[in-house]
Structure 1
């Protein structure tokens, strides 16, 4: 055991005294072993005619006395894996790298024949972590803004969108100069359909002779639903909304009464009739601020 320790100590002392090292034509592929060799006195290092493709800058940091380095005839890789070595060669004033500006690229294929020192290392200094931080921050902010818009401004955005559709339809209608096709468009939930057929249609269509527009009967097949709703509301003199609890829970019914309120805004006259099929407390109408506004303004 004592002899082993003495032998190891001698090897370290010899390594510290070693000044010249020739590894030419040894089929070396990596120099990482030199970082552990304790060659603090090494001045001359010859590594020609090997298979070295990538050199780690830390290898030369472990050779503080190195003044002469030969690396001819090695198949260098011209990419960011050698960026630190290229930068070290250009900025180091202590070590002379023989023929450094004549080293040619062997990999990748598109870089073959080009000079290693001509490789643009600036493209490798982009801080990827910073870009990831910026991207993730933007994504989080976008998610937060989208959530706020959805929860607090979705109805205002929907209002603007439908108002734009109404404006387009109204402009088209004005150009054509077409009269109203229906006396009234009836907006109702499918669960209230029986009341519409049993009570409303016999009176308004049968006795009064009105022509009513009903979605299941008069909507044009194959046409987008919102376009059918817009055409029906703007093609009718009035819009009758059959308000019930199920009506308020319906997404399409909500859009119909919104479009009807836009029509009311456009026409500047009474074109909207709210017909309550059941008594609904005011607190249940609080989410439907536009309907409550209409009810406060009209009996």
Structure 2
């Protein structure tokens, strides 16, 4: 039968084949079953001599113990493949059969579809996996072009579906492609969870079932909020620790009502407290002390010279400022990098806030870099008198004259 193209023998009670039983290169369509395997005959090489089959249908045959991929290897041009009621447990990798347009695996025992078993089958028009044991439909087993295309149809009816959140994407896909799903909704029945058992997949509502806020998520959010609050509190305490210490000091040393400050200068131990960075010591001693103390006879309070070590430094600073008639800040980039200097600058701001801005004078030793110009410094520069150090002859006259006038007020 060298011209035989179609052979239908699918109601056999059982037949054993060898590699010569289907020896026909003209055969293109074959429907056969039920086949039986014997000790010396199996199906592995049954298509070696009929490689031009394009439509293959095997029915009612146990293929669970057969190397199906090896059996199909000669059929590189097959376009339609059916294994109906063949005890198939899993879908073999069919990526080498790129011309497949129709696949029918009805009435088998398939529980799971591995990812990428159909990735190369971009010409697939219909896939029938009905009446198997699937409980989940994995999006990755088909190429994205098939899910998005309009010509592809799918039948996964009569499977014991687990209608949980892992099936949310499929439920949404069906709603958007209902004309491409065979047997929906009547033959798509949920096997689990218990509240949806024996009900249609259409009763599964992902919006209400899968997007509830879990109590664990709420607990995590509350924990993160508390942690953020603790971190923020630590940050603020560290950033404003000197202000807090200053207010505590003010509260502990609050003056009784009716108190009036004496205007007599004899109550002050110093004419001015000088806040500066130790790296600017040379300028302090050679310029400021020389002019203000030795030439003008004013007494300055310098922390390196006049504050005796051994006490609480913060208290010593506050006491020295209280016993000084004036408050001078010698600002430089070194000053802005020093935490103790910034504490003294904070005290200057509080002095300004108490309405005693006339006691303050800022000396700018150099141009302050932009990263050091914070809000506190801006307030001081805007609200307080300041003078800039310069080596210009006329500028020096103005500089020293300003300091002299300030000390005499």
TM bracket, shorter-chain basis: 0.3 to 0.5
Say which structure, 1 or 2, has more relative contact order (CA 8 Å, 6+ apart). Answer: 1
| Structure whose alpha-carbon radius of gyration is higher | 2
So what's the TM-score if we normalise by structure 1?
0.48
Q: Which structure is higher in helix share? A: 1
